[in-house]
Amino acid sequence: MKRGLSERSVSGLLFSELLDSLETMDTIAFHPTGVALACGSVDGYLERQRRKVDTRRRQALRNLERQELILLRARGNKLLFALTEKGKKEAIRWVILNGNRMLPRGRFCYVSFDIPHGLSDVRSTLRHLFKRAHFMMVHQSLWATSRDVVAELVSLVESMDAGDWIHVFVGEPRSRLPMGNRSARMNRHKK
């Protein structure tokens, strides 16, 4: 017996999309040939899928404009965009979260901060960002990552006008303690 379509093959993916476009499983079980023909030709199906993707992309662009992250301007048949100030901050945050440039082996980007209690929203925003970006908490106010996001962090600190309280630097730890899950070490210390 034949193995069937691979889920990752182009044919398998197209087949999966065709099945997803059908409304009910009853229809497939009852008359699969008629249902497949009702979808139209494969070329027509692919064209409809391309239009759906294009529509979703246009909707996403309009959504970014509504959120005031970009400015859109039509020039002929092209659509040009520019980042707003809010969009630039979001771009910096995006690179910090998703950047994949690495520092040389054994070096870390450290962020140290001592933010006044009156600005607790800035502190919690930073901690939330560091957690999402998979930084390691060395101490309550010292976070580290092996990714090279130094320039982006400096830009973020400048945009927050928080240079008096937040310091970004690259270093090589001299401690033999592993950078990682500190909770187990802290629990041992409490005993």
Contacts of 6 (CB under 8 A, 6+ apart): 12
What residues pair up with 40 in beta bridges, in sequence order?
none
The pLDDT of residue 161: 87
pLDDT tens for the chain, residues 1 to 191: 344 444 565 554 545 454 455 444 444 444 444 344 445 566 777 788 888 878 878 788 888 888 888 888 888 888 788 888 888 888 888 889 888 899 999 999 999 999 998 888 888 889 999 999 999 999 889 999 999 999 999 999 998 889 999 999 999 988 754 555 555 555 555 55
The answer to whether the CB of 81 falls within 8 A of the CB of 71 is: yes
The pLDDT of residue 27: 43
The answer to whether the CB of 106 falls within 8 A of the CB of 70 is: no
Domain regions of the chain by residue span: 86-182
The position carrying tokens 């401690």 is 175
The pLDDT of residue 53: 78
The pLDDT of residue 147: 96
Instruction: Decide if domain 86-182 falls under CATH 3.30.70.
Output: yes
The pLDDT of residue 176: 58
The pLDDT of residue 34: 39
Q: Which of 34, 32, 55, 36 is nearest to 44 (CA)?
A: 36
- pTM for this one? 0.63
What distance lies between CA 79 and its chain's CA centroid?
24
The answer to whether the CB of 61 falls within 8 A of the CB of 79 is: yes
The phi, psi pair for 114, rounded to 5°, reads -140, 80
Long-range own/partner contacts, residues 77-82 (CB < 8 A, 24 or more apart): none
Mark 6-42 as b/e (b = at least 16 C-beta within 10 Å): eeeeeeeeeeeeeeeeeeeeeeeeeeeeebeeeeeee
Is 61 exposed, middle or buried, given 0-12, 13-18 or 19+ CB atoms closer than 10 A? middle
